[in-house]
Structure 1
Amino acid sequence: MSYKEKYNEWINNPYFDEKTRQELLSINDEKEIEDRFYTDLEFGTAGLRGVIAAGSNRINIYTVRRATFGLANYILKNANSEKDRGVVIAHDNRHMSREFCIETANTLAACGIKAYIFDSLRTTPELSFAVRNLNAIAGVVITASHNPPEYNGYKVYWEDGAQVMPHIASAITDEINSIVDYSTIPTLTDENKDLVIKLDEKEDTDFIEAVKTQVIRKDLIDKFGKDFKIVYTPLCGTGNVPIRRALKEIGFENVIVVSEEENPDPNFSGIEYPNPEDKKALVRGINLAKEVGADLVIATDPDCDRVGVAVKTVSGDYQMLTGNQIGGMLTNYIIEGRKEANRLEENPVLIKTIVTSEFGADIAKDNNIDVLNVLTGFKFIGEKIKSFEETKSNSYLFGYEESYGYLVGTHARDKDAVVTSLLIAEMAVYYASKNMSLYEGLIKLYEKYGYFKEETKSLTLKGIEGIAKIKDIMTYFRENDINEINNSKVIDFKDYLKGIDNLPSANVVKYFLEDGSWLAIRPSGTEPKLKFYIATKGNTESDAIKNVDGIRAFVDIVLEKLV
C-alpha cells in the first residue's frame, strides 16, 4: 500500500477517531504526509520511539495498540501457559504517556492477558524490578527517555527484567507487521476488564529497599551524610519521589531540589534538551549549587534510568563528569569498598559496552577482575547477569555504558539512576571524608592509570533522505581502506556487522590506532542520528585532548565530503 493509500485509509476508515481525521486533513505539506505514512513506525530492538502525531510512522494510540496486539500474540503463541503471570506497565511524565499506558493495559486484557499498572508515573528501573518482583512474563514502559517533548516511546521487557533480546524483538516485529487492519485489534469488554490490576505502594517500597542494600559504607553516610549538601534535579521527570526517598532513608538529609524542575512537566519548560549528559540541562542545578554551596549536583533523565553529575572543583566552580568518568570512578569505588567490607564475590566481572572507555576496564584489570565487552544496549548487560546466575560461572560486579547508564546490583536488569545516585552520593562523601572532592578523586585516578579522554559526536539526519545518508556514511567507513587517523596507524578494524568477538551482528565499525586511541561509528537505535565515539589515553591531560582533537578533525573532514 502506498503512503497516499494509507493516508486515505486513516482519513476514511471510521475506526480512526474524528480528532485523528481532522489532524491529518489539516496537513498541507505533501512531504509531511509522505513522512507520516511511507512506512510503519519501526519496532526496533526493544520497541517504538517516535514523534507523537497521527500516522503509521508516528506514535499514537493506534500504533501503540498495534504494537501491544503484536506483543500479546507473541506471548500467546510462545508462552501461552505463562500468560496468567501478566505484564507490568509503567510510564513517565510525557505527553500521552498515561493514555498509552491505559491503551496497552486494555489491549492486553482484551487478549486475555493480565495487565499490572501503577497509579501514576514510575521510573524505568522500577518497571524492570517489578517484572521480576511480580514474576510477570513481560513488561512495558512508556517513555522516550531524554528525547525532546514531542517524542514518546514504548519499550518491551521480558521475564528476566531486561529489555527483550534481538530474537524476541524480531519475532514481536513479525507479529506486529502481520497486523494490517487496525480494526481487528480486540477492545476491552466487561468480561475482561478485571484483568487490568492497579498496583499499590508495596512495589515502591520493595524497590527502594532493594536499592538501599547496595550501599557499601553506611558508617560514613551515618557520620557525614546528614550535612553533606546535594542539589538534585529530576529534569521535570519521574525521579523526584524515588531519588529523594532513597537518599533520605539512607541518611542524606540535606538534599535541595531545583524547584523549576521538581514536578513532572511534559514540556520540560526551560530545558532545551532533558538529557543529563548535556551541560545546558544542568544550568539551573549548577546555579543553585553555587548559591547554596552544595558539594554535588545530581541530575536524572525523564524516566530516571540515566544520571549526570557536576562536582565542585578546587577553584569552587562546578565541573560536569562524563559518563565514562563516572563509570570509571564507580568501578574503583565499588571494588575498593567491597574488598574493604569483604563483600567482593567470587569471579567478579565488570561489563561495559564496546563504545565505552577503557578507564574502568583498566582499573578492574589492575584489581585482577575480568572485563566483558558487549554491544550497545543495556539489555546485553542484563543478558550476562542472567547467564551468570544460571551458570554460576561468574558474579556480576558492575555494568555501565558511556551514555550515563549504570547498574549497581542485580535488583533491576536495566540501568538505574536511583541506585546510581545513591552510590555517587556515597562516593562523594567518601572522598569528602578524606578532604577531597570527587573531581580531585578523578584526577588521582588519572595520575595512576593515565589521562583518559573521550568525546561523542552526533550527526542528526532526519527523514527518508537522512536514513539513506546514514546508510551511505556507514558504507563509506565500512568499505574504504583507511590506514591512518590523526597521524597514527590503524592497527585493527572491526566490523561488528559480521558478528565478531562472540557478539551478535550490529551496525558498528571501530578503528583501533597504534597510539592506543580508537574511533567507533554507529547509527543511534532510538534517534535519527549517526554517532562517532572517540577515545584515547595520554600521559598528560593535554596529550589526551590533542589526540581527541585530531581524531575529531579527521571525522569532520570526512563528513564535509560526504554530507
Structure 2
Amino acid sequence: MDYIKVYQQWLNNDYFDEATKEELRGIRNNKKEIEDRFYKSLEFGTAGLRGKIAAGTNRMNKYIIAKVTQGLSNFIVTQGQEAMKRGVAIAYDCRHYSDEFAKTAALVLAANKIKAYLFESLRPTPELSFTVRRLNTISGIVITASHNPKEYNGYKVYWEDGAQILSYIADPITENINNIESFNDIKKISEKEAKEKGLLKVIGREIDREYIEKVKSLSLRDNIDKDIKIVYTPLNGTGNIPVRTVLKERGFTNIIVVPEQENPDPDFTTVGYPNPEDVKAFKYAENLGKSVGAEILIATDPDCDRLAIMVKDKNGEYVAFNGNQTGAILIKYILESKDDKGQLPSNGAIIKSIVTGDLGKAIAEKYGVKTFETLTGFKNICGKENEFEKTGEYKFIFGYEESIGYVAGDFVRDKDAVISSMLLCEAAAYYKTLEKSLLDVLNETYEELGYYREKLISLVLEGVEGQQRIGRMMDVYRSEFPNKIGDSNVIKYIDLQIGKEFDLILGKESKSEIPKSNVLKFILDDESWYAVRPSGTEPKIKIYMYSKGDTLEAGENKLKIMEQAIIGKLNSVK
C-alpha cells in the first residue's frame, strides 16, 4: 500500500468530513506518523478490530467502522432474507466514540435492510453475547477495546451461537470487507428512516432484567456469610450497575464501591491503564479496603468481561490473585458445591486455553471432571462449548483462561465478569463460614496438589519495526529454542503454526488436535512448561511460564531460571 497516496486520497475525497481532514493536515510534516496511520488497513479477524482512535486506515474511526460493517452486511445478505430479518444486536462500552461507532454500525446495517438492535446506553460485553442468543439474531457487535488504554477502541463480532466469530465466519467477512473498493460504496440511511422502517430498534431494560435473573440462577449456596465486607471497583467501566444489582439481589449487604471509579470515564483518569490484571489498578480499592476493613477486593475491566481479585491476609495486607489462581478457586468452589448437592454430572467438563495453568485441571481431576484445551481466546473456549452442546457428549461446567476471564452456565458464550463476580463473592462468603479466607483455601490446595507457580511476561514492540521484530523472534525461536533450561530438559514441544507435536524422547512427531496458530509450547521433564506467542490484539510477544514444585520456593526458583533462558534468547534477536 502506497501510504502517501492513500493519505492524499483521504485529504481530497469529499466523503471525509472537514474535521477528519483538519486532523490529517496536522500530521502533514510527520512522515512516520502518516506511514503508521496509512501503511495498512486495520486487520479484521477472529478478534475483530482494535486500534488507536484517529483518522487513517490503520486507526479506529467512524469510516473504518462503516466499511467493516458494510462488509459484515454484505456477508449477512448472502445468508438470505431470514438472516437479514433476524438482525444484529449491538452493545458498546464507555470509551471515546463508542456510542457514535455503535450507531454508525447500526445505521449501515439498516441501510442494507438488516435489522439492528441497539442498546440504549453502555452495557457489559457478556450481556451482548446473552442478547444474541436471547433475540436469536444472526450476529452481534460490541464496540470496546476491553482493558486497553484510553487511546484505543475496538469492534468485536459475534455469530448466532453467541460466541465471537471463528475463522470460518471471519474469513468470508474479511473477503467482503476487502472487496469494498471505495468508501462511497458504503450504504447510508438516517436514524429517523431506519426507525420508521422498523430496521432500528433500541433495547435495554427488558434484556437487562432477563440477563440478571439468569446470572442469579447460577448461585450454588445460600448458607453463606452475606455480611462479608467487599470493596468493588468497576474501573469507570460498564460493570457498576449489573455487578452491584446481582450482588444486592443475592443478599450481600456490605458491598462498598470505590467512588472515584464508580461512574463511566473514557479517560480512566484514576487508573490510566484500566487492566485489573495489573495490581496498580487496585490502588484506590486497596486504600478504601484498608479504611473500611474489607476482606476481599474485586475489580472488573471496562467492558466487564474480566475479573481480578485481592484477598486480605493475616497481616491485614492485600494479596493479588492471578487468573490461574482465581480460576482454580472458582473451579474448586463450583465442583465442591455441585458435588455436595449431588449435581455434578458424570460427563462434566471444563475448558481452558493452551496457555492456562494446570492447577484447575488437577482440581477437576479430583472430582472426575475432564479438562479440554483450546487456543487462547474465549471464542475458542466457547467454540468448544458449542461442540459439546451439539454432540451432548460432555456437559460444560466452566471455562477460563489465565488472562482473568471466566464463565459458567450456558446462556453466555464469552467470558463474563458479572457471573464470575457473583460466584467469587459467594465462594468467599461460603469459605468464611468455615473460618477460611480465599487465601487459606488456595494455600490448602497447593499443599494438597503441589505448588503451581506461573509468570507472564510481555515484550512490547510497537509500530512497523516492532511488528517485524516480533516476526523474527518467532522464526528464530522455532529453530533455535533452548533444549535445556537449568537442570531440566525439553521433552516435548508443540508448534501450532504447522499443527504438530514433537516427542523428543521417542523421536516421534504427531498431529496436534488444537487448530493451527502462531504458538510454540515447550514441556520440560520436571512438569514445568512454557509457551511463546505474539498477541493477536496488541503489539506484544507473550511468554507464559509455568512450574510445579514441592514447595513455594522451589516453584519460584524454577520460574527465575526459565525467565533468564527464554527472555535472553528472545532479546538476542534484533
Report the TM range for the smaller structure's normalisation.
over 0.9
Q: C-alpha offsets along residues 289-319 of structure 1, whole Å, 9 cap, x if unaligned?
A: 1110011100000000000000011111100
Question: What residue identity is the alignment partner of 1:534?
Answer: M
**Partners in 1 of 2:556 and 2:70 — Cα distance?**
50
**Partners in 2 of 1:385 and 1:191 — Cα distance?**
40
Does the aligned pair in 2 maintain the 1:235–1:261 contact within 8 Å? Answer: yes
Question: What residue identity is the alignment partner of 1:411?
Answer: F
**Partners in 2 of 1:267 and 1:192 — Cα distance?**
32
Equivalent of residue 209 in structure 2, options 202, 205, 208: 205
Corresponding position of 2:88? 87
Distance apart, 1:487 and its partner CA:
2.6
**Partners in 2 of 1:518 and 1:503 — Cα distance?**
17
Seen in structure 2, the aligned counterparts of structure 1 residues 245 and 488 have a Cα distance that, compared at 3 Å, is same
Q: How does 1:223-238 map to 2 (within 5 A)?
A: 224-225=225-226, 227-238=227-238
In the alignment, structure 1 residue 123 sits paired with structure 2 residue 124: yes
**Partners in 1 of 2:343 and 2:143 — Cα distance?**
36
Classify the secondary structure of the residue corresponding to 2:572. helix
Aligned length: 559
Distance apart, 1:101 and its partner CA:
0.4
Seen in structure 2, the aligned counterparts of structure 1 residues 192 and 262 have a Cα distance that, compared at 3 Å, is closer
Q: C-alpha offsets along residues 359-382 of structure 1, whole Å, 9 cap, x if unaligned?
A: 000111122211101000101111
Question: What residue identity is the alignment partner of 1:99?
Answer: E
Corresponding position of 1:537? 548
Q: Percent identity?
A: 49
Question: What residue identity is the alignment partner of 2:531?
Answer: A
Distance apart, 1:284 and its partner CA:
0.7
Corresponding position of 1:290? 290
**Partners in 1 of 2:141 and 2:481 — Cα distance?**
43
Greater mean deviation of Cα atoms: 543-552 or 474-483: 474-483
Question: What residue identity is the alignment partner of 2:148?
Answer: N
Distance apart, 1:78 and its partner CA:
2.7
Does the aligned pair in 2 maintain the 1:512–1:519 contact within 8 Å? Answer: yes
Classify the secondary structure of the residue corresponding to 1:415. coil
Does the aligned pair in 2 maintain the 1:143–1:303 contact within 8 Å? Answer: yes
Corresponding position of 1:484? 484
In the alignment, structure 1 residue 29 sits paired with structure 2 residue 30: yes
Classify the secondary structure of the residue corresponding to 1:198. strand
Corresponding position of 1:504? 515
TM-score by length of 1: 0.98
Distance apart, 1:46 and its partner CA:
2.8
In the alignment, structure 1 residue 78 sits paired with structure 2 residue 82: no
Greater mean deviation of Cα atoms: 188-197 or 336-345: 188-197
Superposition RMSD in Å: 1.1
- After TM superposition, the runs of 4+ consecutive aligned structure 1 residues lying more than 2 A away are 78-81, 189-194
Does the aligned pair in 1 maintain the 2:36–2:464 contact within 8 Å? Answer: yes
Does the aligned pair in 2 maintain the 1:272–1:280 contact within 8 Å? Answer: no
Does the aligned pair in 1 maintain the 2:313–2:319 contact within 8 Å? Answer: yes
Does the aligned pair in 1 maintain the 2:223–2:430 contact within 8 Å? Answer: no
Q: How does 1:141-220 map to 2 (within 5 A)?
A: 141-189=142-190, 191-193=193-195, 194-220=198-224
Distance apart, 1:395 and its partner CA:
0.1
**Partners in 1 of 2:394 and 2:565 — Cα distance?**
41
Does the aligned pair in 1 maintain the 2:233–2:262 contact within 8 Å? Answer: yes
Distance apart, 1:179 and its partner CA:
1.1
Does the aligned pair in 1 maintain the 2:348–2:369 contact within 8 Å? Answer: yes
Equivalent of residue 552 in structure 1, options 563, 566, 572: 563
Distance apart, 1:329 and its partner CA:
1.2
Corresponding position of 1:410? 410
Corresponding position of 2:391? 391
Classify the secondary structure of the residue corresponding to 1:66. helix
Corresponding position of 1:52? 53
Distance apart, 1:272 and its partner CA:
2.6
**Partners in 1 of 2:440 and 2:350 — Cα distance?**
24
Q: How does 1:264-279 map to 2 (within 5 A)?
A: 264-279=264-279
Classify the secondary structure of the residue corresponding to 2:555. helix
Question: What residue identity is the alignment partner of 2:440?
Answer: E
Does the aligned pair in 2 maintain the 1:348–1:396 contact within 8 Å? Answer: yes
Distance apart, 1:44 and its partner CA:
2.2
Does the aligned pair in 1 maintain the 2:119–2:204 contact within 8 Å? Answer: yes
Classify the secondary structure of the residue corresponding to 2:49. strand
Does the aligned pair in 2 maintain the 1:234–1:301 contact within 8 Å? Answer: yes
Distance apart, 1:344 and its partner CA:
1.4
Q: How does 1:453-472 map to 2 (within 5 A)?
A: 453-472=453-472
Corresponding position of 1:249? 249
Instruction: Structure 1: state its 5+ residue gaps.
Output: none
**Partners in 2 of 1:329 and 1:104 — Cα distance?**
39
Instruction: Structure 2: state its 5+ residue gaps.
Output: 500-510
TM-score by length of 2: 0.96
**Partners in 2 of 1:120 and 1:191 — Cα distance?**
21
Distance apart, 1:79 and its partner CA:
4.4
